[in-house]
Amino acid sequence: MPINPDRKKQFRTIGHKLNPIVTIAGNGLSEGVVAELTRALDDHELIKVKLALAEREERKLVVEELAELPGVEIIQEIGKVVLLYKPNKKANPKLSNLHRN
């Protein structure tokens, strides 16, 4: 279910202060990266991902792959950084970036 524009704006505001916690490099979305993304999204709900890929087309393909992950929504994509959101109804308030802000 798509997020409404006002909610996306709130997420972008929160995401502005965040540091990337996952970096995707030359191997793309390997099993290990997907596992770490899943863990980070379950814990934090809203995360920044750095795409350490030189070519714009490679980054675009990785962003498309990220959008296909179950339950994940891309909030914002600027240059080599992507802001991802995945809701978690049982999120730990001490870890969730949405509950802490």
CATH code, 45:
3.30.110.60
Q: Tell me the pLDDT tens digit for each residue of 47-96.
A: 999 999 989 999 999 999 999 999 999 999 999 999 999 998 888 888 88
Residue range of the domain that includes 24: 5-88
Residue 94 lies in a domain: no
Residue 54 lies in a domain: yes
Residue 100 lies in a domain: no
Per the structure, the count of domains in the chain is 1
Residue 96 lies in a domain: no
Residue 95 backbone dihedrals phi, psi, to 5 degrees: -105, -30
28 dihedral zone (left: phi>0; alpha: psi -120 to 50; beta): left
- Tell which residue, 2, 13, 17, has the closest CA to residue 72: 2
Q: Tell me the pLDDT tens digit for each residue of 5-47.
A: 999 999 999 999 999 999 999 888 899 999 999 999 999 999 9
